[in-house]
Amino acid sequence: MAEPNPKPNLLVRLRGSFEHTPRTLLLLFRSAKLAAITLFVLTLAAAVLPLGVAYAGKAIVDAVAAHSREATLRWVLIELALVAALALVQRGMGLLRSLIGARLGLDINGAILEKALTLELRHFEEPQVYDQLTRARREASSRPLAMVTETFGIVQSLVTLAGYGALLFRWSGFAVLALALASLPGAIAEVKLGNLAFRLRNWRSPEARKLNYLEYVLANDAHAKEVKLFGIGPLLLDRYRALGEKFYREDRALAVQRAGLGWGLSLLGTGAFYACYASMALGAASGDLTLGDLVLYGISFRQGQQAFQSILSSLGGMYEHNLYMSNLFSYLAIPTNDGASAPKIALPDVAKNEADDEAGRERGIRFEGVSFRYPGQEKLALAKLDLFVPRGQSVALVGHNGAGKTTLIKLLTRLYAPTEGRILLDGKDLVDWDLDALRRRIGVVFQDYNRYQLTARENVGFGSTPHMDDAARLSRAITRGGAEEVLSTLPSGLDTQLGRWFKDGTELSGGQWQKVALARAFMREEADVLVLDEPTAALDAEAEHAVFERFRKLAEGRTTFVVSHRFPTVRMADRILVIDGGRVIEEGTHAELVAQDGRYARMFALQAEGYR
């Protein structure tokens, strides 16, 4: 694990206390402008009202000392009104903070998830990006509001401190200086400890993700069978507890250090207060101060000291909040290449295609010197691949696991960009296509397809979200995917909740889920490139044959890519590519490859032997 970043000096920390405050306040005003303005106004009121209460207290004591019943009653009623107003203001501030926090948390979490939609597939395979995402989401609901609250609190404390300072200055300028100096050590310590807390939590982000992962494995239906059958639950639980105990010990040590240091340094402030208070009391005893002045100055020193400590403590808190907000803003600033700024190319229509053909434009998919290396890997997954697939041709990809078949598909669908070379669709580089337009042209089912814990309608309709309510299209997709029988067994048809995560959910078998995934792919009727990446692995031989018979009919006139280990499926293709080590080592029809007596022929013979 990497060591924490070096400690910044105090001046850097203080400067950093407001580094991200403007952007955070901008987020606040975008989410809840009226509420934010109202909260600021109430904050100013909350700063001024205590000054009035303190002065009313002084006036009450002086009125009592003067034996004036009328003045005493008048000032008591004034103090009552001020205290009632202060209580109302504080209640209003609490309500607004609650509402703003909920609104801000929702909007920021939405921004985090919106950013996740723009991330490329490679980002989801980079641990450091997951660390950034974890850090951003961990504090998204609390830190922005805390920063806003601290900012407004500093304003409130400054106004209050200015008022109490002015009152105290009438008695002694030294008292104001003592008020300030006695509070500094505690505030400096809070800044340092806040930075230590941030560094500690940032440092252990990878382990925090591991803790969350262990919890997910132990309490998730996708892992329950193996956890029970292999008896790995106690092992994982022990790891979870060990890691959790490590976090607890670190947090406990920091909390004890914070509490002990805070108590020790608070004694300085307490000593300064009682030194000044003793001086005030002696002044009142000698007649230099009235009893009302004693009450007023005593309250002013105590409340002013608390306001000053609050400001300095808030600076430490602001620094810590800014450190956490830097996580959010750095995550939102992750550079992506989602095609938003790329030149836009509209979906092709038949008439335009024909015109382009007449002009001699190439129609099909071409890989030119394409190499690809996964992030953090030294070995190439594809190496100098040159390939042309004419429009309308069906291609089967064959090879051992890890040979590069699925990588080729991911590059074709622009889930990744080539490390070297380029891929062209109809003569245009994929990077020049509008991403949404490109992907509308491609219908794909991966071997690790999703099982959405949603309704059957949504599980199928997600293949083409604009047509989710198109009953005819849904019906055609279900038929083409071979899912009619699955739907017929569901208690509420398309409106049945699938999976066991939510109430009244119906779980499907692996083969049934696969048919639903196939139906989802067939929802994309406008697609002229169809890709099936081991989509029938969970189906029996008869069901697989039925799927591919339908697929052959539906694929007429379209470009198709099929990744499969089953040779009865592979031999249906117009052209078979044998991939090994990221390269095409053989290609041809089934008959041609068998006649060559190479890798394909040996693989076919081995599989055929298994059926004898």
**Residue carrying structure tokens 């699925």:** 406
Instruction: Report the distance separating Cα 321 and Cα 407, nearest Å.
Output: 42
**What are the DSSP calls for 142-168, one per residue?**
THHHHHHHHHHHHHHHHHHHHHHHHHH
The values of phi and psi at residue 231, to 5°, are: 65, 30
Q: What is the dihedral of CA 218, 219, 221, 227, to 10 degrees?
A: 20
Percent of the chain surpassing pLDDT 90: 8
Q: What is the pLDDT of residue 6?
A: 46
**Long-range contacts of residues 292-296, Cβ cutoff 8 Å, at least 24 apart:** 292/58, 292/59, 292/60, 292/61, 292/62, 292/65, 293/58, 293/171, 294/61, 295/57, 295/58, 295/61, 296/54, 296/55, 296/57, 296/58, 296/167
Say if residues 289 and 280 touch (Cβ distance below 8 Å).
yes
Say if residues 50 and 303 touch (Cβ distance below 8 Å).
yes
Q: What is the pLDDT of residue 84?
A: 94
| Residue 358, pLDDT above cutoff 60 | no
| Residue 504, pLDDT above cutoff 60 | yes
| Residue 88, pLDDT above cutoff 80 | yes
| Residue 3, pLDDT above cutoff 70 | no
Question: Residue 78: which pLDDT band, with cuts at 50, 70 and 90?
Answer: very high
Instruction: Report the distance separating Cα 316 and Cα 14, nearest Å.
Output: 8
Report the SS3 class of residue 399.
coil
Q: What is the pLDDT of residue 149?
A: 82
| Residue 600, pLDDT above cutoff 60 | yes
Task: Classify residue 400 by burial, with Cβ atoms within 10 Å: 0-12, 13-18, 19+.
Answer: middle
pLDDT mean over 404-426: 88
Q: What is the pLDDT of residue 349?
A: 47
Q: What is the pLDDT of residue 556?
A: 74
**Residue carrying structure tokens 């930075």:** 195
Question: Residue 348: which pLDDT band, with cuts at 50, 70 and 90?
Answer: very low
| Residue 234, pLDDT above cutoff 60 | yes
Alpha-helical (H) ranges within 434-540 are 435-440, 456-461, 471-480, 484-488, 510-522
Q: What is the pLDDT of residues 393-410, one digit of tens each?
A: 889 898 887 788 888 988
Q: What is the pLDDT of residues 35-45, one digit of tens each?
A: 989 999 999 99
| Residue 350, pLDDT above cutoff 80 | no
Instruction: Report the distance separating Cα 46 and Cα 40, nearest Å.
Output: 10
Q: What is the pLDDT of residue 406?
A: 85
| Residue 479, pLDDT above cutoff 60 | yes
**Residue carrying structure tokens 């407001």:** 18
The values of phi and psi at residue 373, to 5°, are: -125, 130
Q: What is the pLDDT of residue 83?
A: 92
Q: What is the pLDDT of residue 573?
A: 82
**Would the pTM of this model clear 0.75, i.e. be above it?**
no
Q: What is the pLDDT of residues 559-581, one digit of tens each?
A: 888 887 777 778 878 899 998 88
Q: What is the pLDDT of residue 273?
A: 62
Average pLDDT, the chain: 78
Q: What is the pLDDT of residue 95?
A: 92
Domains in the chain, please, with CATH?
17-332 (1.20.1560.10), 450-526 (3.40.50.300)
Instruction: Enumerate residues 6+ apart whose C-beta is below 8 A from 54.
Output: 164, 167, 296, 299, 300, 303
| Residue 278, pLDDT above cutoff 70 | yes
Helix (H) or strand (E) holding 229: helix 221-229
Higher pLDDT residue, 498 or 280?
Answer: 498
**Rg, Å, the chain Cα set:** 35
* Cα–Cα separations (whole angstroms), residue 482 to 44, 222, 448: 67, 25, 19
Instruction: Report the distance separating Cα 308 and Cα 179, nearest Å.
Output: 8
Report the SS3 class of residue 446.
coil
Helix (H) or strand (E) holding 329: helix 291-332
Q: What is the pLDDT of residue 342?
A: 36
Residue 459 token pair: 């599980």
Q: What is the pLDDT of residue 351?
A: 41
Q: What is the pLDDT of residues 300-332, one digit of tens each?
A: 666 766 676 677 667 667 777 777 777 788 888
Higher pLDDT residue, 188 or 509?
Answer: 509
Residue 563 token pair: 């990744």
pLDDT mean over 424-451: 84
